[in-house]
A and B are shown apart, each in its own frame.
Chain A
Amino acid sequence: MSDHHTNDRRGFLRCMAWAGTGALWTVSGGLASSISLDQAAAKPAQAKGFTFLQISDSHVGFAKPANPDAKATFQEAVAKIIAMPVKPDFIIHTGDITQLSKDSEFDDADQIIKQAGLTVFNVPGEHDMLDEGQGKAFLNRYGKGTKGAGWHSFDHKGVHFVALINVVNLKAGGMGSLGAEQLQWLKDDLAGRPSSQPIVVFAHIPLWTVYADWGWGTDDAAQALTFLKRFGSVTVLNGHIHQITQKVEGNVHFHTARSTAFPQPVGGQGPSPGPLKVPTEQLHSMLGITTASFVRGQDQIALIDATLAS
């Protein structure tokens, strides 16, 4: 990497001051509003409902200038979960658990996340499909009871969770892909559910087009969203782009989480979607985790992003 590129990335970083802030989003009846984290913290803990945690893009095994020890920052993120005053019911990991799908990397990731003592639901990122079997290593570990490349769904306290895989069988020139078989499964999985049931969909690559030139989207996501349209509360949680982005479309709230390994540039605002090298003292403010809270009876979903620096 030439100095020229490094300077570009550093220069770009000055535009990223927003990335260290957290916001609480509430969605009700398709209207979104946000209040600051301080206000959120002042609210009493929700006695009913539940929280779960999203962690993403841990890239265990990554050890390059953007983060010489991604294992250590993943460990820090898990320590934050352990320290939470209200224990989340479970964790979802939205992919790129490892850097190169090595057994040793999966082993390290498992050892770290299991310290939280919570059930973990995983979807693979493209970095978790690099074994000889192109995803067999992932499925052997996390695929029990799942279909296809690992898609599955479950209910938790009245909320329906759907794990989608959009990192397999990608086509030249395309973006993420769900594929006809998975789309049919999704249609069947949602059929017959009351439109009042809150739905949470999670997948690695964003299910809306964040930046097409860098492949930050899913080619056939629109079809999946037609099945979700009739539901009153849909939350879509993704990773892959190592930064927070959000969008509300009708009753669907899209959100991407930070990575625990390294940040990436805003789409189109850097030389490539590769790791963004930032000064060491800034790294922790650009890594983080997301907490999602459901408030019973209010049909509200609140997402709180916290950095590893906070």
Chain B
Amino acid sequence: MSDTVNVSGSLRARLSLTLIGSAAAIAVLLFFVVRTYAAQIAQSGQDNILEASVTSILDAATLRDSGVEVDFPYVAFSMLNTEADDRVFYAIWQDETLLSGYELLPVADAPDGGDIVHVSAQFDGAAVRVATAARILVGANARNRVTVSVAQTQDALAGTLNKISRNVGLIGAGFFALSVLVASWATNTAIRPLERLTHSITRRGPKDLSPVARPVPSEMAPLVTSLNSFMARLDTSLKQSEDFIAEAAHRVRTPLATVRSHAEATLQRVEREDNRQALRSMVRAIDESSRAAGQLLDHAMITFRADHLETEPLDLVDLVEDLVTRLTPVAEMKDIALTVISGGKVSIEADSILLQNALSNLVENALKYAPEESEITLEVFDVPRPRVEVRDEGPGFPPDQMHELAARFSRGENAKDTIGSGLGLTIAQDVATAHGGELTLTNLSEGGACVTFLL
């Protein structure tokens, strides 16, 4: 199975980007809307004052015998005093004649009713706001149209706008920062059930294929339903294949035993050496098949028991010595000595059947590979953790394959002429893992293999 997942993008990044991006867009929009609105208000403030000034001047216009007089009040200009000392310009026209003020000041066309017209213009190198109004003065023999324009530079307005812009900018930035916090919180909240599910599945044991029971958000229900049904199918399928293997092994073992006893009996009767040789090979092959079937059965049993460990207090040294007693006859057939080294009782909590099975697999392996008239040593340690080392004087493990040797049905390169199903190390490793320990393979410097079974 491949370990890499085809990753395209990230939900978290996409969600965060969407939220932060829209927050930024809203902040910028807010800035411009508020600034524009504030600019309008500030401008209308200036317009109102200019309007009052124009009105007060226009109201002072009177028609005398000598002509139009405009005795406007002091306040007409003093109301235009600003913090930024804005410049003030004005023009008073009678029809097309300038009565007083700045002749070049741009003047808008104002209706006669006294309504004020506001325009923005340039005057003497500065941006000015001009308010203009006109009035008709009716005399005995003439109609005079008096137009008054008052203009003011916009320094104070610009100052106000800068201040507002700065404040609105700060508010926008604050809004954005807050949105980023909210976005990250929202993203985390949204992603958390997914992480929780991932976590709960990652934490499961290798054999745990039970459905996910924890409540999940409705959006994830289809995924979890699919996952559950997929795991159920996988579980069924695995169980079926284990059952099938166990059943098959079981069914093969009994006929094999019959065939073996027949072959042994025949061996007693035949006299020709080549026939005897053939029969011996047959018995050997039958033994191998029977052992493989046995291991397959053992493995199925271990797979089952590993999920439901039945631990009991026991002495690891006792267990190892029992095992050695049981296997000594087999060892003696090859003139191999089995030695147990221990420093007294090693108390552990473990499933004795599994442990016996695993250790006997290790010793059988060693017996298989060890040369005749050699020694196999089983050393039991108590500290730092209980462990058993099985050492032989055989060829050792091929160094480049050590890491995959424990995989199911795999055998060392140098095992071609040795019988075995390749399940021995797998069984031992599964048992070690089920007990929370591990199986380590090393080669001894003086030659031979060493398997460390750690609980």
Asked if A and B are interacting partners, one says: no
